[in-house]
Amino acid sequence: MFDFMNLVRNENMKIYRRPRTYVMGGLLAGLVLIASLIWLAVSGRDTSMWDVAFFESMLMSGLVTIFVVIVAAASVAEEFSGGTIKLLLIRPWSRSKILLSKYIAVFLYALLMSVVLFASVLLINWLIFGIGNTGIEAAMMPAEAGSGVFVHILKFYGLKFIETIMTLTIAFMLSSMFRSSVLAVGIALFQILIVNNIASLIMFLKQKWVDYVLFIHLDLTQYLSGSGMGIRPGMTLGFSLGVLAVYYVLFMALAWLVFTKRDVAN
Amino acid sequence: MEQPIVQLKNLTKVIGKRKIIDNLSLDVTRGQVFGFLGPNGSGKTTTIRMMVGLISITSGEIFINGLSVKQNFEQAIRHVGAIVENPEMYKYLTGWQNLIHFARMIPGVTEHRVKEIVQMVGLEGRIHDKVKTYSLGMRQRLGVAQAMLHKPGLLILDEPTNGLDPAGIRELRDYLRRLAKEENITVFVSSHLLSEMELMCDQVAIIQNGRLIDIRNLEHGSKGDQAMRVLFEVNAEQPAHAALTARGKQAEMVAPGVVAVFAQREEIAEANEILVSSGVKVYGIRQQVKTLEDQFLEITGGEQRV
């Protein structure tokens, strides 16, 4: 039996042999550096690195999602637009496994980009502001300090990562359904840009069904603020995760169904 | 009897309300170049896409090497190399990376084999360049290389001569005939270019509107003692015709200055002698060969669409 990992290696090759992947990574680190330098110019060195790190993380995590969405959408759609799907599917592999290898590759890419942001935010700010320099004690952070700050930012990245994966899955599904990366990126971007506004609008509706709307649950960092309560009364992190899980299964099922069943004709 | 490499059994494909392929049955024996002919829109590409699992089968079965494409896709496809329409590769990767990509997907293809195939298609010099810098001919060759990586028993090519210049077509033709003969690979090739198919194939199937119309063997080389229509170019057709029929030959006047004789090889010389001895001047003698194209138009009635 030969190795499924070969398929993932192939998909990785198609991601990492393209310059755009490195442009995205470089852009993340570069923007973090610029933001920190501006902060330094405005406020001087008398600042907590954690404040800057947290601010930049909030600012840039959307960018990570956008980059990941672009790669996820391209993963399936470009095989169709380039015609290479015809060569890819006529190998001794089921369509499910080929799609799974693609999903794993973009998942790993999402992980990598999150780590790149996390590492550059910590490293750059540590170098610029110094780890020991607490300055005005982490104003943006909740009461906890010291190692608590690190745990807090880790939690933030974990929750953001779930949001990124959800958005990635939506883009992946759209890409598989419509075979158009433009459409997939467009809809996913729309979702990223509009989601907070929609959420903050409909959260005031009294109706029960609003509790099950995807957009209400996407931003899980709402649970980070002290009380652990969501933007709607009675919502908890567990409930949000449950709703997201249901949507996730639905999106994956749709992506799989369409990809494995549909005819590949021009 | 040896099992056919490809068997289509009552193959049918319905898209919407249209029957694209209608109850098509076909056996392809091993080691030959098999031509799959038909006018545009007759269902050639649809059939090929069903053979390689790109589109679903409405009803009927396809067996490759005795394995059902429907039930046993991963096993059946292992012995198949294919180019469906244009060989589109990953343009942002090099030729080598493209081949490694496809090699990884099939068990037992070593790096040594990849090198071997690169040499076989003559791409050594450019294999580490990005595919987007390749010419169409080079992309075709890379396409053949990816299809041959795993030494398939069946090579399926859909309209391989599209976009090739005459030299490229000739090269491809010689190459395919060599593959069939030396490596015992069955080549299943679709085309609407009949004159090319005639030179390339051992056997052809003709389909129209998704139905099989005819299967025929093509012979290469001499036709032996078969009777054929021979055209004599003469100075006056009337006396020529008279002289020939007087001596018991089957002759007809086809055009001013042209007389046709239905004759075997030896009879051609006799007819010539008759003409010369009765004072008719002969300017030319040629066999009238029915090309595949003539036959094809005859069979399909020149009708191209429903």
pLDDT, one tens digit per residue, over A91-147 is 999 999 999 999 999 999 999 999 999 999 999 988 888 766 554 455 555 544 455
Torsion of CA A59, A64, A69, A74, to 10 degrees: 140
For residue B222, name the pLDDT band (cuts at 50, 70, 90).
very low
Identify whether A226 is part of a domain: no
Cβ burial of B48 (10 Å; 0-12, 13-18, 19+) is buried
B20 CA to chain A: closest CA distance, Å? 13
* Closest by Cβ to A92, choosing from B74, B97, B146: B74
Q: CATH for B228-288, among 3.30.70.120, 3.40.50.1820, 1.10.10.10, 3.90.1170.50? A: 3.30.70.120
Mean pLDDT, all residues of chain B: 86
Q: Is the pLDDT of residue B221 over 50?
A: no
Token pair, residue B261, equals: 């004789």
Token pair, residue A30, equals: 């570069």
Element (H, E) at A71: helix A49-81
Contacts of B74 in chain A (CB under 8 A): 92-94
Domain range annotation of chain B: 6-217, 228-288
B83: three-class secondary structure by DSSP: strand
B220 CA to chain A: closest CA distance, Å? 33
B117 CA to chain A: closest CA distance, Å? 17
Domain residues for the domain of A164 are 5-195
For residue B239, name the pLDDT band (cuts at 50, 70, 90).
confident
Counts of helices then strands in chain A (DSSP H, E): 9, 0
Task: Note the pLDDT tens digit of each residue in A210-266.
Answer: 888 888 888 888 888 766 667 777 788 889 999 999 999 999 999 999 999 988 886
Number of domains comprising chain A = 1
Pick the residue from chain A with its C-alpha nearest to B45.
Answer: A265
Asked if A87 and A244 count as a contact pair (C-beta separation under 8 A), the reply is no
B198 CA to chain A: closest CA distance, Å? 28
* Closest by Cβ to B92, choosing from A17, A90, A94: A17
* Weakest mean pLDDT among A21-25, A184-188, B163-167, B202-206: B163-167
B140 touches chain A (CB under 8 A): no
Identify whether A185 is part of a domain: yes
Identify whether A95 is part of a domain: yes
Q: Name the fold adopted by B6-217.
A: Rossmann fold (3.40.50)
What pLDDT does B174 receive?
Answer: 83
Interface test with A, best of B88, B146, B148 (most A CBs within 10 A): B88
Identify whether A91 is part of a domain: yes
Give the C-alpha separation, B97 to A14, whole Å.
10
Give the C-alpha separation, A168 to A196, whole Å.
17
Instruction: Determine the straight-line distance between the first and last CA of chain B, rounded to whole angstroms.
Output: 38
Give the C-alpha separation, B91 to B99, whole Å.
12
* Weakest mean pLDDT among A131-135, B28-32, B97-101: A131-135
B106 CA to chain A: closest CA distance, Å? 7
> Do B97 and A13 count as a contact with CB atoms less than 8 A apart?
yes
> Do A93 and B84 count as a contact with CB atoms less than 8 A apart?
no
User: For chain A, what percent of residues have pLDDT higher than 70?
Assistant: 90
Contacts of A91 in chain B (CB under 8 A): 77, 102, 105-106
Model ipTM? 0.85
Give the C-alpha separation, B110 to B116, whole Å.
10
B104 touches chain A (CB under 8 A): yes
Give the C-alpha separation, A85 to A95, whole Å.
11
Give the C-alpha separation, A152 to A101, whole Å.
33
Identify whether A130 is part of a domain: yes
* Closest by Cβ to A6, choosing from B52, B80, B104: B104
Identify whether A112 is part of a domain: yes
Give the C-alpha separation, B146 to A21, whole Å.
26
